[in-house]
């Protein structure tokens, strides 16, 4: 364990079910976060909320999904919502307000509080274990 751990990646319960149903791999999610970490953010929605494209299995990012993440560089990323680009263009104003409020709450939580959310099943940690 190092003193400066890499960014921790989580998904809320809804997103975890969505990713499993759509066969979106942890490596794909980790790639979306890595792009954000290097400054390649598809859309900054403000208040710690970003939108990142996720490729559809067997396809590219342009025909894939749009994911909504609570994001703080170097600290944590939490996937909270996603949709197929073909299903809808964007979040509406009311949804955006709710997700921004959630972001402000989630980014204030300490590691022990996040761990409580994981233990309760409200958050799932996304592990990128390609080797095993």
Distance from C-alpha of 44 to C-alpha of 63, rounded to nearest angstrom: 20
pLDDT at 47 over 50: yes
pLDDT at 53 over 80: yes
Return the pLDDT at 4: 37
pLDDT at 54 over 90: yes
Percentage of the chain modeled with pLDDT above 70: 90
Distance from C-alpha of 13 to C-alpha of 62, rounded to nearest angstrom: 25
- Could you tell me the residue ranges of all domains in the chain? 11-120
pLDDT at 8 over 60: yes
Signed CA dihedral, 77, 82, 86, 88: sign only: negative
Residue 67: in which H helix or E strand, if any? strand 65-72
> What mean pLDDT is reported for the chain?
89
Return the pLDDT at 88: 83
Return the pLDDT at 2: 35
Return the pLDDT at 86: 79
Distance from C-alpha of 14 to C-alpha of 16, rounded to nearest angstrom: 6
Q: Specify the pTM.
A: 0.89
Place of tokens 């003193």: 3
Which residues, including other chains, have CB under 8 Å from residue 53's CB and lie 6 or more apart? 32, 42, 61, 62, 64, 65, 66, 67
Place of tokens 């761990």: 115
Torsion angle (degrees, nearest 10) of CA 93, 89, 35, 26 = 100
What digits encode the pLDDT tens for the residues 111-130?
999 999 999 999 999 987 65
What digits encode the pLDDT tens for the residues 81-96?
999 887 887 899 999 9
Tokens linked to 49: 């909320």
């Amino acid at each position: 364990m190092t003193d400066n751990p890499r960014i921790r990646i989580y998904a809320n319960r809804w997103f975890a079910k969505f990713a499993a149903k759509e066969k979106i791999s942890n490596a794909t999610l980790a790639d979306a976060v890595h792009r954000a970490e290097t400054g390649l953010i598809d859309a900054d929605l403000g208040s710690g909320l970003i939108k990142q494209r996720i490729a559809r299995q067997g396809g590219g990012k342009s025909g894939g999904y749009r994911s909504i993440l609570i994001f703080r560089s170097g600290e944590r990323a939490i996937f909270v919502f996603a949709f197929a680009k073909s299903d809808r263009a964007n979040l509406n104003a009311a949804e955006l307000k709710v997700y921004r409020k959630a972001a402000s709450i989630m980014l204030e939580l300490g590691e022990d509080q996040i761990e409580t959310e994981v233990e309760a099943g409200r958050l799932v940690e996304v592990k990128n274990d390609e080797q095993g």
